[in-house]
Structure 1
Amino acid sequence: MSTEEQTGHYSITPRRVSFDWDGTPLHWIPDEPVATHVINVLHLLLPAGERWFVKVFKEALPMVSDPVLLKDVKGFMGQEATHSVQHSHVLDHLAAQRLATEDFTRHVDFLFEKLLGETPPFNAPVPPGEWLRFRLSIIAAIEQFTAVLGDWVLRAEGLDRAGADEIMLDLLRWHGAEEVEHRAVAFDMYQHCGGSRLPRYARRIEGMVVTTPVLLWLWAWGTAYLIRHDPELAGRLRYSLGEHNRAVAKGLLPTWRELGAAIPRYFRRSYHPSQEGSLRRAVDYLATSPAARAAAGAVGRAALS
């Protein structure tokens, strides 16, 4: 990665994209239902999760005194709001293909709206400022993984070789590119609002320690749910580590090492997410993404009208 990528400032801009799902099959990676549904868990988690990101950041906006960070945070919020909407449309598409997800997503809604809501759950005696900082640390930890996944999907040639649906690939790569674009914003927001040095660092570590096992559990549970309820499989397949690893070997999913190595990097005191992925790769993809190009064209036409 270039020095410019590490030190230069990059403007975060939402893109009002849209996708036509009419021609996308249920198993959008042909003959690979496990890999398809491992990735489909994103659609189960992100609509509620990214709405929650925006809500928490809105709560924290009065704490932001840096005008550059404030602009980045607002751009981040715009991008995340768009991500939430587009992944919700995929859930509608799954429902139209007889794969209903409400029995799972209501648990995700409960997690973000109740357990991680504006007030601590179960009347826990946590001061409001501390509760807000804890939730900001959770978002920063989640964004560490989304940056890694975003950079992976931009490089995932195995998905192309497997003949993955072009519309779904564009959604994933547009989203992944924007995750790389704004990979440092949640971290910078936490660092700005997170208090003094040692407590701030300890809370950052706590955020990752809490986030990692919960994400792993949700992902395994979500994949098993999708496979179990897949009408085309009709109960003939179960999610297993062996099937998952077979998809990893084909380049259809990121390796465990790639995901796991993101955690000790995050634990370094000197760490900053600008070290993750390639901003150039992300920008290059957004320049060619059919959805992003269509969104830019619509903005240009509106400006001329």
Structure 2
Amino acid sequence: MVPRRVSFDWRETPLHWIPDEPTATHVVNVLHLLLPAGERWFVKVFKEGLPLVTDARLLQDVKGFMGQEATHSVQHSYVLNHLAEQRLDTDAYTRHVDFLFERLLGEEPPWGIPFPAGKWLLYRLAFIAAIEQFTAVLGDWVLRAEGLDRAGADEVMLDLLRWHGAEEIEHRAVAFDMYQHCGGSDPARYARRIVTMCVTAPVLLWLWAWGAAYLIRHDPQLAGRSRYSLREHNRAVDKGLLPTWRELGSAIPRYFRRSYHPSQEGSLRKAVDYLATSPAARAAAGAVGRAALGRRG
């Protein structure tokens, strides 16, 4: 599990990268609003937790996870720059996302809540595990989403989403294992996992609906003529352009099972196969190989 130093050329990617589907485009684009700050936060929290990791294999996986998430954050930030170049400014929304991760979920508990020593870190690790449940589900979906291909979605954006989705499947169990390991024999470990999912799921839904509404409302090509609607969202779902509500919702009761482990999510074989063919991942691997040959020379 290693970070792949990918890069993408956005110069030819249109604002509506799913042709004639602004709602589906912007529902997916919410990823770019949430992930830069969110994945930077993942890395910060995991750095705090590293001293608690006593298992060598898990420590190696955690470091690989951190490298991959840092790369994801950077690449999605570039998409925000691309949106801004097309006159879709996201700063008014992303400032709220930054506040959520940097202040409400920062190193110190919000509002001076008196958590016992070390417990706030465990809650934040549990939140990451809950979020990663959904990123694994989305990663599995986008790798199977033939509707995006049929709709003629932009190839560069598809590669970004599928490269990211494949890596989410690749490291789907790391955040869960990190939380379980750091929680140790704490009798509240399972209850904390349930509580944080009960918070995570509705907050993510709210952020997603708000983000989609924001993007559609500020889309310069729509010029205020459209609004986010559940009807249009469901129409895109029927076309295979968005995951079904059942796919997303069923991830929650699975996570609630005491015997649950994220290795049950998605297909690692499908993820690895995509990473072997992804234009961006292949280019990154080639660059690493050329650099190694240069050092030998």
Q: TM over 0.5, yes or no?
A: yes
User: What is the alpha-carbon distance in structure 2 between the residues aligned to residue 190 and residue 218 of structure 1?
Assistant: 24
Code of the residue aligned with 2:109 in structure 1: it is: P
Candidates 44, 68, 84, aligned match of 1:79? 68
> Cα distance, 1:194 vs. partner?
1.4
User: What is the alpha-carbon distance in structure 1 between the residues aligned to residue 15 and residue 107 of structure 2?
Assistant: 36
Match of 1:202 in 2: 191
SS for the counterpart of 1:110 is helix
Match of 2:204 in 1: 215
2:33 aligned with 1:44: yes
Contact 1:228 1:237 in 2 (8 A): yes
Match of 2:280 in 1: 291
Q: Percent identity?
A: 84
User: What is the alpha-carbon distance in structure 2 between the residues aligned to residue 266 and residue 127 of structure 1?
Assistant: 26
User: What is the alpha-carbon distance in structure 2 between the residues aligned to residue 238 and residue 137 of structure 1?
Assistant: 35
Candidates 290, 294, 297, aligned match of 1:301? 290
Match of 2:227 in 1: 238
> Cα distance, 1:127 vs. partner?
2.2
> Cα distance, 1:197 vs. partner?
5.2
Match of 2:161 in 1: 172
2:256 aligned with 1:260: no
2:19 aligned with 1:30: yes
> Cα distance, 1:207 vs. partner?
1.2
Code of the residue aligned with 1:206 in structure 2: it is: V
> Cα distance, 1:198 vs. partner?
3.4
User: What is the alpha-carbon distance in structure 1 between the residues aligned to residue 253 and residue 187 of structure 2?
Assistant: 18
Candidates 14, 21, 25, aligned match of 2:10? 21
Match of 1:104 in 2: 93
> Cα distance, 1:196 vs. partner?
2.1
Structure 1 residues not aligned, in runs of 5+ = 1-11
Code of the residue aligned with 2:64 in structure 1: it is: G
Code of the residue aligned with 2:275 in structure 1: it is: L
User: What is the alpha-carbon distance in structure 1 between the residues aligned to residue 117 and residue 124 of structure 2?
Assistant: 11
User: What is the alpha-carbon distance in structure 1 between the residues aligned to residue 69 and residue 6 of structure 2?
Assistant: 12
1:59-114 Cα distance to aligned partner (Å, 9 max, x none) = 00000000000000000000000000000000000000000000000000000000
Code of the residue aligned with 1:139 in structure 2: it is: I
Candidates 52, 56, 65, aligned match of 2:54? 65
2:129 aligned with 1:140: yes
Give TM-score, length-normalised by structure 2. 0.98
- Moved runs in structure 1, 4+ residues, more than 3 A? none
Code of the residue aligned with 1:86 in structure 2: it is: Q
> Cα distance, 1:195 vs. partner?
3.5
Code of the residue aligned with 2:62 in structure 1: it is: V
Code of the residue aligned with 1:188 in structure 2: it is: D
SS for the counterpart of 1:198 is coil
> Cα distance, 1:223 vs. partner?
0.2
Code of the residue aligned with 1:240 in structure 2: it is: S
Code of the residue aligned with 1:304 in structure 2: it is: L
1:143-179 Cα distance to aligned partner (Å, 9 max, x none) = 0000000000000000000000000000000000000
User: What is the alpha-carbon distance in structure 1 between the residues aligned to residue 186 and residue 279 of structure 2?
Assistant: 44
Match of 2:268 in 1: 279
SS for the counterpart of 1:259 is helix
User: What is the alpha-carbon distance in structure 1 between the residues aligned to residue 32 and residue 163 of structure 2?
Assistant: 14
User: What is the alpha-carbon distance in structure 2 between the residues aligned to residue 207 and residue 173 of structure 1?
Assistant: 27
Contact 1:119 1:128 in 2 (8 A): no
Q: Counterparts in 2 of 1:85-164, with a 5 A limit? A: 85-164=74-153
Give TM-score, length-normalised by structure 1. 0.96
SS for the counterpart of 2:118 is helix
Match of 2:180 in 1: 191
User: What is the alpha-carbon distance in structure 1 between the residues aligned to residue 168 and residue 232 of structure 2?
Assistant: 28
Structure 2 residues not aligned, in runs of 5+ = none
